[in-house]
Chains A and B, each alone.
Chain A
């Protein structure tokens, strides 16, 4: 149920963003880009979320055994066909993937820089052309 709602949210946000990008107003296009970037960020976070999982901290207690105690293998050994990480049999650790949250932070920062740049660009376009209608930006045609 949770995952359905999440997928639905992502899809609707993406749809709204696409709709806004196809508008004629430059500011609406920029807002559309931001909305799409947020839906993509949600998608990235959602790839690490599973039902009934815990925070991604490996400790000794509550079933999250430490590496030595549970025999988790972190090192690759191609000759023995081991592709890390490998959990020992019988051990089961459920946790949310922490990496996607780091990825999403990077993506947010990048889209912040992009949005700042494109907003200033839109302001300069408004100064030069006296309009924010994207159909008027046709001096380069032909």
Chain B
């Protein structure tokens, strides 16, 4: 009897890949596919919680794939990566339940399930890997599978297929360019240090830095990683693909993209800059902070002018990821804690808002907010849920977003970043404005002109669509009313990130078979 609990990291990556191939084989039996994919997704959520508990009680876990020690690929589960895996599994489980009723049957059984499993595998892999080239491979897996998912058709067909093509083309070209940049950076890093293991690179670079022989091109490599992760997370000069891709994707995929996928960029930033380039951080902290501020400003101003509900949410994602990067840029324990709390709260609230927007689109038959109005009477559940999400994003108590913003601003003030916090605060007011403008346009006021725009759909919201939204809304409320566990966890994670020696020890003491 092999004990499974030592193999949790590889199970979290291998099972979704296996499921992807099984789903392709089962495409003629949609019933089996449905039950199997949902139950396996739930199982992955349980496994990820087990992994988190293991890391919480037993310290950082390093898992050797193929038992080659530090020369082979190592999967490392520390608090940050296992926490991100729990978040991914949670959001993807709910998004999968939601898509059962939302995605068109033909597209669902032929391509949706396999690609969704691959997306989960790519996400889990990029969070868990300890090898920088492996990180690149998982980035490509999640890029390709998310491209396939953006094109998937939803029921009703509100989004034209030509729009999906155009958005995917932009997404793919920009992300291919950023993956070339990442390859160049990895090759240069390998040529400099002679290893691909992140912990090993960190040891060698800090040895060079101590000896005063850190080559100048390490700074250029670090800048390339800013570009790579900035592109994944849609940071200011690289955010142009996001407002096209996230609205055209089907709503559960928008929830995955906005909730989890752009967080991969933030995760990469935390992992690479606070482990490998810790000696160059004194130059890059201001860079990250000012890029984050520009992102907040551009995202918030663009969101104010939107008339398309999903496009508004997408621009809001751009603005909110700026706040996460602001916390990362502060670089202190408190700043990182705030960034992580913000990240979790935004992931849950924004996934929920995108799922809700799917319900809104079905109800109104359009994405244009000017053609809606007075929906609070005909769709009370959806409007209630949208209000909860909007309050959380806007940072109003008692929702989770309030705690996140409070922590972030407090961290900034205690670090004496007054100017930065002032700008962030002004645009937090913008956030309240654009979220409630959307709320007023869609749900308040007169019912829309029936002769001009047609009657609202009379179909009741299906339970499979309502359930994930309600669960996420409960999450938002719980993190707002009882935030201490999350803050304590984020604080422990931040301490672990800022002490790279723990990570290095865990990786370097793995057994070498020879």
User: Do A33 and B173 touch across chains, with their CB atoms under 8 A apart?
Assistant: yes
What distance in Å separates the Cβ of B131 from its nearest Cβ neighbour in chain A? Answer: 11
Cα distance, A59 to B292, chains bound together (Å): 53
Among A21, A37, A83, A110, the one with the most B-chain Cβ atoms within 10 Å of its Cβ is: A110
A100 contacts B172, C-beta separation under 8 Å: no
**Which residues of A have CB within 8 Å of B188?**
47
Expressed in whole angstroms, the Cα–Cα distance for A75 and B184 within the complex equals 29
**Which chain B residues border A26 with CB–CB below 8 Å?**
169
In contact, B187 and A100 (Cβ under 8 angstroms)? yes
**B:133-150 near A, CB below 8 Å:** 133, 137, 140, 144, 147-148
Residues on the A chain within 8 Å of B287, using CB: none
- Mask, B147-182, CB within 8 Å of A = 1, is 110000000000011110111110011001100100
Per-residue CB contact flags for chain A residues 67-80 toward chain B (1 = under 8 Å, else 0) read 00000001110100
Q: A37-B180, A44-B183, A83-B204 are in contact. Are A78 and B166 (CB under 8 A)?
A: no
Q: Is the CB of A137 within 8 A of B172?
A: no
In the complex, what residues of B have CB within 8 A of residue A75's CB? 69, 512, 514
In the bound complex, do residue A47 and residue B187 qualify as a contact, i.e. CB atoms below 8 Å apart? yes
CA distance in complex: A137, B166 (Å): 6
Query: How many residues of B are counted as interface, with CB atoms below 8 angstroms from the partner's CB atoms?
Result: 40
A17-41 vs B, CB cutoff 8 Å, 1 = contact: the mask equals: 0000100001001000100110010
Cβ distance B204 to chain A, nearest Cβ, rounded Å: 7
Bound-state Cα–Cα, A36 to B433, Å: 44
Whether B187 and A121, one on each chain, are in contact in the complex, defined by CB atoms closer than 8 angstroms, is no
Interface string of A94-105 (1 = CB under 8 A from B): 000001100100
Judged by a CB distance under 8 angstroms, whether A128 is at the interface is yes
A113 interface residue per 8 A CB criterion: yes
Given A106-B133, A106-B137, decide whether A117 and B172 contact each other with a Cβ distance below 8 A. yes
* Distance in Å: Cβ of A93 to nearest Cβ of chain B: 14
* Given A83-B204, A107-B183: A125 and B163 interface contact (C-beta under 8 Å): no
Pairwise interchain contact B169-A76, C-beta atoms closer than 8 A: no
The answer to whether B166 touches A114, judged by C-beta atoms less than 8 angstroms apart, is no
Residue from B69, B70, B144, B168 within 8 A of A114 (CB atoms): B144
Residues B162 and A129 in contact, CB atoms below 8 Å apart: yes
Contacting pair B508 A114 (CB below 8 A): no
Chain A 48-92, CB within 8 Å of chain B: the 1/0 string?
A: 000000000000000000000000001110100001100000000
**Given A40-B180, A110-B137, A128-B162, A118 contacting B187 (CB threshold 8 A):** no
B191 adjacent to chain A (CB < 8 Å): yes
Chain B residue contacts of A36, Cβ below 8 A: 177, 180
Contacting A at CB under 8 A, from B61-88, are 69-70
A140 and B190 contacting across the interface, CB-CB below 8 Å: no
CB distance from A142 to the nearest CB of B (A): 9
Would you give the 0/1 interface string for A112-126, flagging 1 where the beta carbon is closer than 8 Å to chain B?
A: 011001100110110
**A37, B169: Cα distance in complex, Å:** 17
A37-B180, A40-B180, A140-B167 are known contacts. Are A100 and B137 too (CB-CB below 8 A)?
no
Supposing A75-B512, A75-B514, A76-B512 touch, asked if A139 and B184 sit within 8 A by C-beta, the answer is no
Whether the pair A47, B190 counts as a contact (CB closer than 8 A) is yes
* Contact indicator B140/A110 (Cβ below 8 Å): yes
Contacts of A33 in B (CB 8 A): 173, 176-177
Q: Which residue of A lies closest to B143 (CB)?
A: A114
A11 interface hit (Cβ, 8 Å): no
User: Taking each of B70, B184, B187, which has the highest tally of chain A beta carbons within 10 Å of its own beta carbon?
Assistant: B187
Question: In the complex, are the beta carbons of A78 and B173 less than 8 A apart?
Answer: no
Q: Determine the residue in chain A with the shortest Cβ distance to B505.
A: A78
A106 CA to B132 CA in the complex, in Å?
Answer: 13
Whether the Cβ atoms of B165 and A76 lie closer than 8 Å is no
Taking the complex as formed, is A16 at the interface, i.e. its CB lies under 8 A from any CB of chain B?
A: no
CB distance from B503 to the nearest CB of A (A): 13
Q: A117-B147, A140-B244 are in contact. Are A40 and B169 (CB under 8 A)?
A: no
> Which of B137, B140, B184 contacts A43 (CB under 8 A)?
B184
For B183, the chain A residues whose CB sits under 8 A away are 40, 43-44, 107
Complex: chain B residue closest to A102, CB-CB: B133
Q: B203 on the interface (CB 8 Å rule)?
A: yes
A83 to B70, CA, bound (A): 11
A140 to B177, CA, bound (A): 21
Which B residues are in CB contact (< 8 Å) with A139? Answer: 160, 162-163, 166
Asked if B3 is an interface residue, CB under 8 A from chain A, the answer is: no
Contacts of B161 in A (CB 8 A): 128
Cα of A106 to Cα of B141 in the assembled complex, Å: 12
Known: A75-B512, A100-B187. 15 other contacts (CB 8 A): A78-B505, A78-B508, A84-B512, A103-B190, A106-B133, A107-B183, A110-B140, A114-B144, A117-B144, A117-B172, A118-B176, A121-B168, A121-B172, A139-B162, A140-B244
What are 18 of the A-B contact pairs (CB < 8 Å)?
A21-B173, A36-B177, A40-B180, A43-B183, A47-B187, A75-B69, A76-B508, A83-B204, A84-B512, A106-B137, A110-B140, A113-B144, A117-B148, A118-B172, A118-B173, A137-B169, A139-B160, A140-B167
Interchain residue pairs A-B with the least CB separation, the first 10: A47-B191, A128-B162, A44-B187, A110-B140, A137-B166, A40-B183, A140-B244, A125-B165, A75-B512, A40-B180
